[in-house]
Amino acid sequence: MGSISKCQKLSKESNIKRSEEDRISILPSCVIGHIISFLPTKDAVATCILSTKWTHHWRSISILEFDDSGHSQNRNRQSLQSLEESFKNFVYRVIMLNVSDLQKFQLRCFLDYDVSHINLWVYAALSRNVREMRLTVLMNSHKLAPRELFTCNTLVVLKLRGVFVLNVPTLVHLQKLKILCLDSIEFSDDESVERFFPGCPVLEDLWIIGCLWRNITVFNICAPVLRILTIHGDSTNIDWKCKIVLNTPNLQTFTYDDCLVEEELAVANFVEGISKVQRLHLSDGSVETLQLCSHPLPDFPHLTYLELGLLQDETCRWSPPENVPSCLLLHLEEIRIEFFRGKRDEMRMARYFLMNSKVLKKLTICPDGDELGGL
C-alpha cells in the first residue's frame, strides 16, 4: 500500500509540473512568430514584456497591420501632432526590427502624414517579399505609392483605397498579382490605364469601387485571364463620361452598377467584353442603356445567373425585347431582382422572366425595404 501511495504522489507531482510547464515558450522561434502573427500587431509587439525569452519573438511575425485610429483613442488628451509622432515611431520601430518575409502588410492612415513616410513604409514592406498589401490613405497626393510598388514580383493581392492620384510609371511588372482592388483611386490619364493592366498578366479578380474618371476618356481593361470583374460607380462621376472597354475574353462573373455612356459604339464594345460571362449583376440603369443602344439585346450564350438591382430613386422603365434572348431559352437557371417595389414595369419584367425562361430553376424577388416600411 505504501508503494502504491508513493507512486500516486509522484504521478500527481508530475501532472502538476506538466500543467505549470510553459509549452509555448519551448517551441521554435519561427513557430512562435507565426502564432503571434495572428494577433493585432500592437499586441504581438507587446508580447516582448512577457519574459526575457519573448523579447525577440515578435520580430519574426509575418503579418504587419498598422492603423492610426488605434493610436487616436486618447485624442482629447493629446494633440494631433503627438498622435502622429507616436504612430510614426511605432511603425518605424516595428519595420526596422522585423526580420521576416511578409505574408501581409496593411496600412490605414487617417491623419495627415508627409507622403515620404508612407512611401518608406510601403517600400520596406515590398523589400520583405510581401504577398498581400492593403493600403488605405486619405490624402490627396500625386506622389503616393513608390515606383517599386508596380514592379514587385511577390505581390499576389493588392488593395488600394484613398483619394489620391495613382501615378503609374512607364514600367509595370506585377507578374504574380491575381487580386486587385482600387477604391476611390484616380488615374492620371488614359496612358496610365493603358500601362497598368497589361503589366498584370495573371490578374483574375478586379474590383473598381468609386474611382474618379475625370482624367479618363477611355478606361481600357486589358486582362486576358480575368475571371471576376466588379465595378461600383460613384454619384460624383455623373458629369465625367468615360467609355469602358473590356478586353477580357475569359470573364465569368461581372458586376456593374455605374452608368454606361449612351453611345451605340461604346455600349457595343462594352457588351462584347462581357458576352461570355456565366454570372451577371447589373443595375437597372445599365439594363435600360443596353436596351436603348443594343439592337438586338445581347444573348449572353453562357449566362446561368442574372441579378438585377432596380433603381431606388426612379421608376423602372422596362419593355420586353423583340426576341427572347437565347440565354432565357437554353441555360439561364437563376434570376434575382433586388429593390423590387411592385411597380407596373417591375411586375411586367418578373412576369416576362417567368413566362420565357424555359430552364429557370429559381426566381428570387427582394423587396425594397423603404416600400415595405410604408405598407
Say if CB 182 and CB 160 are below 8 A apart.
Answer: yes
Say if CB 276 and CB 249 are below 8 A apart.
Answer: yes
User: How confident is the model at residue 196, as a pLDDT?
Assistant: 93
Q: Is residue 261 part of a domain?
A: no
Total structural domains within the chain: 3
pLDDT tens digits for 85-94? Answer: 888 898 998 8
Partners of 219 in the beta sheet?
Answer: 244
pLDDT tens digits for 238-283? Answer: 545 677 888 888 999 998 876 655 554 455 566 777 888 999 988 7
Measured CA to CA, the distance from residue 160 to residue 136 in angstroms comes to 6
136 and 203 fall within a common domain: yes
User: How confident is the model at residue 40, as a pLDDT?
Assistant: 72
Domain range for residue 37?
Answer: 25-61
pLDDT tens digits for 113-163? Answer: 888 899 999 999 999 999 999 999 876 666 677 889 999 999 999 999 987
337 and 284 fall within a common domain: yes
Q: 375: pLDDT confidence band, cut at 50, 70 and 90? A: very low
Q: Is residue 201 part of a domain?
A: yes
46 and 73 fall within a common domain: no
Tell me the whole-structure pTM to 2 decimals: 0.80
156 and 194 fall within a common domain: yes
Q: Is residue 102 part of a domain?
A: yes
